Structure 1
Amino acid sequence: MTFRELVVAYFQYPAIIAYLLLSAVAIGVFLWNPAPVVPTAVAIGVAMFIYPLVWYVLHRWVLHSRWMFKVPMLAATWKRIHYDHHQDPNHLEVLFGALHTTLPTIGAATLPIGWAIGSIWDAPVGGAMAAFATGLLTTCFYEFVHCIQHLAYKPKAKFLAEMKKRHMAHHFHDENGNYGITTFLWDRLFGTFYDRSERPAKSPTVFNLGYTPEVAERYPHVARLSGGVATGHPRRRGE
């Protein structure tokens, strides 16, 4: 895949179009009710800083938890937003998160912070919109890097190649680490950053996240939605 083909594929996803449209709306609201330069810059900076931490926390302790599939009301959500992605990491239809889960998360992570910062300068709406637009555009960047990591594109930039290497280890070697997408700072700080040479044994749950056939017998909600529990490497199933 060429870089041009990657870009074309990326902009065909409805989720990306939705993020860009919403960020344009947020910027429009900001221009209608702007905040001064200082709170705007602070809101943008804080949103950019907090975003990877929020992603790390959600990725590690929610998406990789083993409690969501036990709750009937959450089983379908967990299946769609992460189980299916790990079952077949290169399945493009589930590469991006579902909007009904990503948009509330982006809003919750950025709007209150932007509102609080803007309120100090009596411009809560402008601050909130600056932070929200930053969260949406950061998501677009995250998803573009995520495309690079999962599609048949070999990045030339060393830092992108390194990101892809770490993320592929998360999907194909050991899911218990390398939770970052564009930065592994929080992995390093929380002790979950690793190189494959440091973990010679492959995780037996790298593709099912612990939702094994035995677990499915007790908590069948995801299995019913999936038509069973797939086992083994996704590229070798059916051989």
Structure 2
Amino acid sequence: MVAQEFTVDLNKPLVFQVGHLGEAYEEWVHQPIVSKEGPRFFQNEILEFLTRTVWWAVPVIWLPVVCWCLAMSIERGITLPQLALVVATGILLWTLIEYTLHRFLFHIKTKSYRGNTLHYLMHGCHHKHPMDGLRLVFPPAATAILCIPFWNLAKLISIPTISPALFGGGLLGYVMYDCTHYYLHHGQPTVEPGKHLKRYHLNHHFRIQNKGFGITSSLWDIIFGTLPTQKSPSKAT
């Protein structure tokens, strides 16, 4: 007897449904629904609230932390030219982390109930509903958790004088990334490089989803051979 395929009911909370798709999840999650109205994730109101974040919360919450980190390095004796170099290094380091997370974690292939559920929460929801404006940036709690290993990395690869500035540069890179990501989906850039980045990212969503993992830059796609061919996506709006 052939088991009946599971069908997701889009009118009900999705998170605890998608795991039942099994091997069909990969195909389902990469068939985008282009609508600015996002789906409901949880029946519980508190959990549902925690999944939604307005884009401006990112700079409001994290830019003061960036400034505090830079001030800490200045107090420890770093010069302004050194500060600029370290911050630029931190931003570059973030772009590599951004690429690595997007390619190897956010696009991991899953088929188990837990795997599908976790992947949907991490990134699958963004590919299924790419225009959901309240789920385009990282929730602050998730960012705070990611800050812990990045802070430890900054301390590991640098000296105490510059480690706060290196971390601050990386955090600034993250803020630039999340704000850029939101703008690429909901803004209409009229000049380069904004126009290129929007085409590049929508190409990843609607045409070649296993390439083009950079958001703020295509640098690491070029270096690691995941640069997609350039063609305007047919389904983007």
Q: Specify if TM > 0.5.
A: yes
Output the CA distance in 1 between the equivalents of 2:112 and 2:63: 35
Offset at residue 181 of structure 1 (A): 0.7
Offset at residue 106 of structure 1 (A): 4.3
For 1:165-204, list aligned pairs within 5 A: 165-197=199-231
Q: Alignment partner for residue 142 of structure 2, among 63, 79, 101?
A: 101
CA distance 1:65–1:12, change in 2 (3 Å): closer
- One-letter code of the match for 2:207? H
- One-letter code of the match for 1:191? G
Q: Alignment partner for residue 157 of structure 1, among 191, 202, 210?
A: 191
TM-score normalised to the size of structure 1?
0.65
In 2, are the aligned partners of 1:115 and 1:127 still within 8 Å (CA)? no
In 2, are the aligned partners of 1:149 and 1:167 still within 8 Å (CA)? yes
Q: Alignment partner for residue 183 of structure 2, among 148, 154, 177?
A: 148
Query: Sequence identity, in percent?
Result: 22
Output the CA distance in 1 between the equivalents of 2:236 and 2:88: 40
Offset at residue 75 of structure 1 (A): 5.5
Cα RMSD after superposing both structures: 3.2
- Does residue 86 in structure 1 map to residue 127 in structure 2? yes
Output the CA distance in 2 between the equivalents of 1:37 and 1:116: 20
CA distance 1:11–1:82, change in 2 (3 Å): closer
CA distance 1:16–1:44, change in 2 (3 Å): closer
CA distance 1:12–1:82, change in 2 (3 Å): closer
Question: Which is richer in helix?
Answer: 1
- One-letter code of the match for 2:205? H
CA distance 1:64–1:12, change in 2 (3 Å): closer
Output the CA distance in 1 between the equivalents of 2:192 and 2:80: 35
Where 2:193 maps in the other structure, the secondary structure is helix
Offset at residue 180 of structure 1 (A): 0.5
- One-letter code of the match for 2:202? M
- One-letter code of the match for 2:170? G
Output the CA distance in 2 between the equivalents of 1:150 and 1:234: 10
Output the CA distance in 2 between the equivalents of 1:41 and 1:162: 27
My pick for the range that moved more, 104-113 or 90-99, is 104-113
Q: Deviations over 1:135-182 (max 9, x none)?
A: 12112211222122100x321212110000010011111211111011
